[in-house]
Structures are given as structure tokens and as C-alpha cells.
Structure 1
Amino acid sequence: MTYMLRLCATAALLAAGANCLAADRIGNAAENNLDVPSEQGIMVGFPPAPENLITLQNQGGPRFVRWSIMHSASNFPTARVSRGTNSISPLPQGRPLDVESIQTRDDNGNPISMREFYRRTGLDAMLVLYQGRVVFERYLGDMRPTTLHGMFSCTKSLVGTLAATLAYEGKLDLSAPARRYVPELAASALGGATLQQLLDMRANYRFGDDIHQSGSVQRIFHQALGVMPRPKDYNGPDGAYALLMSAQPAGEHGTGPFRYDNGSTQALGWVMQRATGKSMSQLFSERFWSPLGAEQDADMVLDVKKAEWTAAGMSANLRDLARFGEMMRLDGVFNGKRIVPSEIVADIRKGGDKAAFAASPSGPSRPGGSYHNQWWINHDAYDSYNCAGHYGQRVWIAPKGEAVIVQLSTDLGEASAQEPLRQRTYRAIVEALRRTAGNPATR
């Protein structure tokens, strides 16, 4: 059977599974307070009406951003993260969990329904794995099981896991400054930061007059890459490489609060490309997507100079992100195959500098948390940790809860505003799962 026939057959079986979880959509737009692009006429028709046409200038606007998040390859050039030719790894079905009967609580302690959670967090899709089995899967609005949804800064956690793995293999020295691998960074403030400082967001630098604050859109970064419109009089860096070389000092590296910045991850990508002689899309394919037995290829957005947007440019489907999360929950093993060294996963779970994190703008929305190797560590009863991407992308991994929750969203609110609600809701789901743990059908 050819690859394409095998893929189509597998997709059909998945979509028509016993519980029909993958095909289940919840009501209509009015019922769920969703902005559904197709129902609004956005990019509908041949050609679409002028007011419904997506352009570089409007693709990030409130009315158009949900369509854009689901169609990055229509807005920008992309590189393919190939799934290779391996068979698709199954995601077995477990006993369905009635997630929508669960009540969560808002920041004031008032109970709210899951559908209200969907609305507040701009949910596009969610999948819950318990003990490696799919117990809940939902697609709302225009989302489908085959949609490649923007991951944004969840891309960073793949970068961090890969960098730590390359160091474990002796291909990188995390105590070395970035300029050892990329001499072009010798005159840049980024060049003097060690790879570990870049991994933990403890490098202090700025682009122009901007010192990025976590939770805000880093306009100068996005304009340099060309993924955000540039003003007519723009004279800043042209592309990611030029931007990284322009970084100016903003204090001694490794001191002060945790300081989240896209440049750290973008620099790590440049380092890994130089150290391996491979693109990030090729590395992600060889190290993750192919050995995981992913269902679909993923995409990496390219900037104006055709450099990969390492910090936030990946799009993937819901189920493949669940495979990656389950691999991390199982200490680097998936479908019986070792993909990431267990030592790397154990080190991530230990977390980073809690005091530096608490002193940062990220501290209030994640009390008791830390950041390490491009992962957000929650230090809770479930030993949970997660990636976090703009507009509410999450892969939440709870080793002590035996669960992985993937949420893909278009949350247009302030980046950290709903984080406490998300964390409470994920824990409520795990608590509901644990109440049913005695039933063999959930195993």
C-alpha cells in the first residue's frame, strides 16, 4: 500500500472510531459564542469578497486571526516538517470522559461550565489523553482533525528539548557562549549568553529601544521577520539573522528576573543549525515527527529571507501534538521507542530558578512556577509542566496524573489573563479522570 493510501485509510479509521471522538463538533457558532470564519464569509468564494480577503496587513486583526492561525501556509512561505515514511502510531481510544459535565471555577471561585471555559479561552480544539488513551477530543468551528493549527511559542519547547538532547549527545556545550557556534554573533549581546542562559530565558539584551515584556507582542521582532506589517518608513533589521546580530546589552546575563524573549530561542535555532548542518524543519522531522509516527507533516513559517521562524513558527495537528506530549510524559518513550533521553525529561521537570521567575511579570499568573529549557514548570501536585503559545496554545503534561491535555485556541485577550483558569481546568479534568481510574475501560 502506498504512503498516501495508507494515510487516507488510517485517517478514515481514526475519524470513524468507536466513540467518534475525532468527528464531534459542539453545536453552532451562536450556541458557543464562536467566531467561525467560514460562517462569516472569510476567504469563502472564488474569489472571496474584498472585505473577506486575508492580506498581510489584516491577517492579525481580530476578525481574521482565527482563519490565519489555521492557515499559516496560506499567509507565509513555509518549510515542511516531514513525518517521513514510518507507519502512523496509533492513539488508542479509552472510555470517553464527559468533560463538558465538569465544572471549573473562575478567578473569584465561582463555578463555570466547560462551554464557558471554551468561550473565555477561545477554544478551537482539545484532546485529553489518560494513561495513553484518548478519552476526549473536540473540534469547534472550522477546526478539523487534519487542520494544521499555529503552535506559536509552543515551538520553543521542541527547540529546548532538541537543544538539551544535542548537548546530551555531546554535539553542544550548554556552558558555551552562542558566539562559539555562530561567530556572526560576536558583536551582538546575544553572542555572549551561554546556551543554557538562552534556554532558561536568563539572557539580558534588547532590540533597538525595546526590552520585551512577557505577555506582550514583540513588535520589532515580528516586523524584522516580516510576519507583521512594517511601517512605510521602516529601516530596522531585515530578517531574523540581521535582527539577532543587532541585539544590544541590557544587563549582565544570568542576573535579574526571568525575561522572556523570542530572540533567545531564535538564536538557539541558529546555533543548532550551525552545529548540525541541518535546518530546524529537518531536525524536527528526524528527531520528533518521524520517530513519533505522526499522522501529518507539520509546517515551519519562513521569514522574509527564508530563514525558519524558530521561536514560534510551527503549525501541527492536534493529535500529533498529543503524541509529542505523551512521549514527554513517558520520559522520552513513545510506542515503545526511545526518542528523548530520560535524563533530559527528568531535568526539565526539575524546573528552573523560582525566585527569578517570581520576580518577573510572569510570576503572578503562575505562582510557584519556573522556566527551564524552554518549558513552563508548574511545580504542582501532578508535577505538571507545559509549553505555552500565543493565543492560548498549550500542551499540558501531568506525569503524576497520567494525563496529557492539548488545547489549541484563538484567545484574543491579554496573554496571561486566562492562565490561572486554564491550570484549574486542566487539574479538574485530571481529578475527574482519577475518580474513574478504577474502571478498567479507562486503562
Structure 2
Amino acid sequence: MAFYAGPNGQFPRADLRNWWLPAYSVDSFSRLDEILPAHVVRRGEASAWRRAAVEPAITYTVPSQFGGGRLSLDAYLDRNPVTGLLIAVGDTVQVERYRYGRTDAQRFTSFSMAKTICALLVGLAVADGAIASIDDPAERYVPVLKGSEYGRTPLRHLLTMSSGVRFREEYDGNDDVSRLARATMPGGAGGIAAVQQFNDRYAQPGERWYYASAETEVLGLVLRAAIGRSIADYLSERVWRPIGAESDASWVVDATGQEVTYAYFNAVLRDYARLGRLLADGGRVGDRQVVPAAWLAEMTRAQVSAARTGRWYGYGFQTWIFPENDGSFVLLGVRGQSLFVDPGRRLVMVHTAVRRDSRDPRVAETLALWRGVQAAFPRRRN
């Protein structure tokens, strides 16, 4: 904590110039929508959580590269820069912790967890008839992309990060995702121009997999054009209000007012958990099918195998799939953001953090914690 706190023990207040820097991330990652322009995602009538009478005893096996051994949840929190952690089974919150002076009222940013939300909305747009087929090319919905490589790419291959359009995402400050970020942040052109700069094809759609945030941004442009209104409003109507979100969420927008769909969604911890519960329950809220079960099943199966991604995880529609293919999956964002979902246990873990680096190897310890959480709760019997 000392690394993040100033000399008076307070956390430095971030602004547009420094919000990404680790020293300011405690503040910025929990109020990014006050620093960057954003659309509000309106809440509905809040659904209630039950509370476990006693917090369960959770332990996990530390990966050998970080010392090994068996440690407690408290030890994990002492070793990792976690701002919020919530574990829920079904309708019951088992653990809810906040650190670094954060509270349950603050909206934590998602980074790339937003990609899965975008894919969820694409499925709803298909169900609503706004998108005819995910085998359509992007240019059918965004005519300005006609003739470009992304324009020619079917939505299916954008959903699976297999467009074949060259895009380098290594978080070194000089890569393509840095160019995309500059284009979608204040001062950048935003909109179509943000993705038109990437137009070099190295493989046919579906042949190669490579993680590329621009693919989600193209999906966002398609989605906005297809539904004919803001993505934030559509998310509110079709997901946020139906899950009984207790707080408004937000989504950062670019200079054109387009939601930056590859990142920067913001919500309170319990509402992230409500989203996770929706996913764990096959797209249902009570007796209501909010998300088509067939779409969710396609989203959360390995469309691309772990062997092809080279990332240990397989990949579905903008969603990371566990290699054992047992139905569990995770939404991942840089710097330690994650939403783990195990439908077989109706188990959800929301984890927000302020890791210093986008490639922090200690994310392996978060995965180890998740394995410990799974072990603490038995799978449901069918």
C-alpha cells in the first residue's frame, strides 16, 4: 500500500494527464467516469442479496514461482493490490471486501472485461433482429467501412478475435493498442477513424487467432449502428435493469459519443456480481430469460482452443474459457480486473485491483485463489 499512498497516507487524486500511472490508479480506477467522458447506464429496481452468516474459510495454493505453500484469503489480500473482492454463490454473498480506502459506492473500471459485455449485447441485437447474422460482414452495418479489411470481416471472426487483420497488442506504449487508445481518448478522433488506421490483412478470417482490442471496437461500431441508439441505453434496457442493478453504471465514450467497447465500463462491485450471476444462471433472472441461452452457450464455449490462443485459456465470443472446458469462464481486464464464473456451482468471484503492470505475472496468484474458492464450494448435483 505504501507504493500507492502519498506521504500523508492519502491516495493521490488522478486527472486526465496521469490516470493510467500506477501511483494514481487507486483513485482513477474507482472513478474513471469522472475523469473521462462517459454515458450513464441507468439502474432499475435493485434485487436483494442474501448474506452468509459466517464468511467461509478459504485457502489457496500459492504458485511455486511466488513461494508456494498454502495461504488464507487474508494473506492473499496482504500480498496483492486488491481494491475490491466479492464472492457469491447463487443469491448469497459469501465474501465482500474493500481495501485502499475504497467502498461499495465506488464504480470500478473494467478494462477488457467490457469486451464480454459487448459480445453479450451483440447476441441480444441478433435476438432483436437488429443484426441479421453474425456471418454478415461488418460493412453491412457500417457502410463507411466498405472495402476495408475490417469491413470485409464477418462478425463471427471479430467475436473470436480471428479477423486476420494485423494488430499488435503488447502494452509497450508503441503498439497498436496504444494507437487505438490515443484515438479513443480525449483529443483523439474516435469513431470510425479509430479503427480505419488498422487495414493490413495477414490471414483470412478464421485462420489465425490474435488478441486485438480493435476487433471489439469494430463490434461496438456495428452494434451502435444496428440498434440505432447509444450502447449504454441498450445495455440499461436489456441487461442492467433486468438484473436488478442497485447503482447506475457508466461506459466511457470517445469524441464522437461512441462507447469505447474494448474497455472502460464502470460499475459497483455488487452489480458486477449480479452480471456474473446472470451468466452463471444461463442468462436467466428468476423465470425470465434475459439473454438467449443458445447465445450464451456459444459465447462461453471454446470457439478457439487453448492450444491455438497460446494463452492457457481458450476463447469464446470475447470471453476466456478454462482449458478443462467444464463450463466455467472468466472476463479479464489488465491491471488485475476479473469476473470469474462457474455455472456448475452458481459461483462468481469479482476481483478489482491496481496492479502496476498490464503483464503482471501475479495474475497467476489470482487464478490460484479462484481454484481455492472453487474448492470451498461443491458443484451442484443435477
SS at match of 2:161: coil
Check 1:175–1:430 CA distance in 2 against 1; reply closer, same or farther (3 A cut): same
C-alpha distance in structure 2 between counterparts of 1:335 and 1:397, whole Å: 18
1:178-219 C-alpha deviation (Å, 9 max, x unpaired): 00110111132211111011100001224xxxx323566621
Question: Residues 41-190 of structure 1: matches in 2 within 5 Å?
Answer: 41-42=10-11, 52=12, 54-83=14-43, 86-99=44-57, 102-108=59-65, 110-113=68-71, 114-172=73-131, 173-190=133-150
C-alpha distance in structure 1 between counterparts of 2:349 and 2:7, whole Å: 27
Check 1:82–1:258 CA distance in 2 against 1; reply closer, same or farther (3 A cut): same
Out of 244, 259, 263, which is 2:195 matched to?
A: 244
C-alpha distance in structure 2 between counterparts of 1:167 and 1:125, whole Å: 34
C-alpha distance in structure 2 between counterparts of 1:115 and 1:127, whole Å: 13
1:89-122 C-alpha deviation (Å, 9 max, x unpaired): 11112343334x5233124471253344335542
Out of 281, 304, 311, which is 1:330 matched to?
A: 281
SS at match of 2:151: helix
Structure 2 residue aligned with 1:433: 377
Check 1:337–1:353 CA distance in 2 against 1; reply closer, same or farther (3 A cut): same
C-alpha distance in structure 1 between counterparts of 2:6 and 2:39, whole Å: 25
SS at match of 2:341: strand
Out of 224, 230, 245, which is 1:279 matched to?
A: 230
Structure 2 residue aligned with 1:347: 298
Structure 2 residue aligned with 1:192: 152
Q: Could you tell me how far 1:423 is from its partner in structure 2?
A: 2.0
1:328-378 C-alpha deviation (Å, 9 max, x unpaired): 111111244321111122222322121xx4344xx24x2xx2111111111
Q: TM-score, normalised by structure 2?
A: 0.90
Give the structure with higher Rg (CA). Answer: 1
1:297-341 C-alpha deviation (Å, 9 max, x unpaired): 001112233322111021000000100100111111124432111
Structure 2 residue aligned with 1:8: none
Structure 1 runs of 4+ with >6 Å offset: none
Q: Could you tell me how far 1:150 is from its partner in structure 2?
A: 0.5
1:32-65 C-alpha deviation (Å, 9 max, x unpaired): x6735795444xxxxxxxxx55332222112112
Contact 1:382-1:399 within 8 A present in 2 as well = no
Gaps of 5+ in 2: none
Contact 1:79-1:302 within 8 A present in 2 as well = yes
C-alpha distance in structure 2 between counterparts of 1:120 and 1:381, whole Å: 30
The question of 1:405 aligning with 2:345 is answered no
Contact 1:58-1:64 within 8 A present in 2 as well = yes
Aligned amino acid, residue 294 of structure 1: A
Out of 252, 262, 267, which is 1:301 matched to?
A: 252
Structure 2 residue aligned with 1:10: none
Contact 2:251-2:264 within 8 A present in 1 as well = yes
SS at match of 1:391: helix
Gaps of 5+ in 1: 1-28, 43-51, 231-236, 439-443
Out of 275, 291, 301, which is 2:242 matched to?
A: 291
Structure 2 residue aligned with 1:201: 161
Structure 1 residue aligned with 2:307: 358
Check 1:177–1:398 CA distance in 2 against 1; reply closer, same or farther (3 A cut): same
Q: Could you tell me how far 1:170 is from its partner in structure 2?
A: 3.3
Structure 1 residue aligned with 2:217: 266
SS at match of 2:22: coil
Structure 2 residue aligned with 1:7: none
Check 1:378–1:403 CA distance in 2 against 1; reply closer, same or farther (3 A cut): same
Q: Could you tell me how far 1:393 is from its partner in structure 2?
A: 1.0
Contact 1:323-1:334 within 8 A present in 2 as well = no
| Aligned-pair identity (%) | 23
Check 1:111–1:226 CA distance in 2 against 1; reply closer, same or farther (3 A cut): same
Contact 1:187-1:245 within 8 A present in 2 as well = no
SS at match of 1:136: strand
Contact 1:371-1:377 within 8 A present in 2 as well = yes
